[in-house]
């Protein structure tokens, strides 16, 4: 059995495919490369994308459509900050929005001083903004608040990320895109893979580039979800004798 030590088999309905995306370049990234303390600046808390960031969004969108991924994703979950929402809508949203359509746009024109046209909500998966996959924050008894000089501890961020992945099992969708932040991705993913080969563990926890997409599979080992299989077939229809040959005397 040693030859199988590095393998695992799980029922398909206990698995979900998650497409993880770090937001494109924001103005805080540019300032943060000059001075890392800029990441704590309240003025850059809800930073918008740079023109370069929008180019990164356009290129990822082309990849998502060329690979066929855009037709597979059933839901887009996004951190509720401007840079992640701009990235999510730009990559996974509909085409250009036209006046007169009786459906609200997914993103209005010039959102966040982007100089970008409105984006349609037609012909794209639904979007949900979720606080759990937000960047470092500070927690209080009243609300989740940001402070200019204090950030959530990395171990608490990792715990929040694990809670988020458990929450995904309450969703019926099997193929989900998550658009979030570098810190959230790094500390969440580094909490996993300890039972894998070191090279796989390293691959899983490697930092994300701006607007990078990586696909992973999560497995419901603890029966958190209640999904039933849509592909399994019970057999024995019509019924008849079928004693396995190994059990026959």
Active-site positions?
23, 135
**Closest C-alpha among 196, 130, 136, 214 to residue 166:** 130
**Closest C-alpha among 187, 200, 185 to residue 158:** 187
Q: Which helix (H) or strand (E) holds 19?
A: strand 15-22
The span from the CA of 152 to the CA of 139, in Å, is: 8
Q: What is the token pair recorded at 170? A: 């309450």
Kindly list the distances between the CA atom of residue 131 and the CA atoms of 7, 15, 48, 181, in Å, as whole numbers in the listed order.
35, 23, 18, 12
Residue positions counted in the chain: 249
């Amino acid at each position: 059995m040693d030859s199988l030590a590095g393998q695992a088999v799980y029922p398909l309905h206990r698995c979900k495919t998650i497409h993880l995306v770090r937001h494109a370049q924001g103005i805080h990234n540019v300032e943060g490369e000059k001075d890392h303390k800029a990441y704590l600046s309240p003025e850059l808390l809800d930073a918008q994308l740079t023109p370069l960031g929008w180019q990164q969004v356009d290129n990822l969108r082309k990849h998502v459509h060329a690979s066929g991924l855009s037709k597979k994703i059933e839901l887009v979950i996004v951190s509720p900050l401007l840079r992640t929402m701009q990235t999510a809508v730009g990559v996974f949203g509909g085409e250009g929005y036209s006046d007169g359509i009786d459906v609200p746009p997914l993103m209005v024109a010039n959102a966040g001083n982007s100089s970008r046209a409105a984006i349609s909500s037609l012909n794209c998966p639904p979007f949900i903004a979720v606080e759990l996959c937000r960047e470092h924050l500070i927690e209080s008894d009243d609300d989740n608040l940001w402070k200019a000089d204090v950030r959530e501890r990395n171990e608490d961020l990792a715990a929040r990320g694990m809670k988020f992945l458990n929450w995904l099992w309450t969703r019926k969708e099997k193929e989900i895109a998550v658009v979030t932040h570098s810190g959230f991705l790094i500390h969440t993913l580094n909490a996993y893979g300890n039972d894998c080969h070191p090279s796989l563990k390293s691959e899983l926890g490697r930092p994300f580039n701006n607007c990078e997409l990586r696909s992973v599979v999560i497995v419901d080992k603890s029966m958190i979800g209640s999904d039933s299989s849509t592909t399994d077939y019970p057999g024995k229809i019509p019924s008849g004798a079928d004693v396995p040959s190994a059990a026959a005397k």
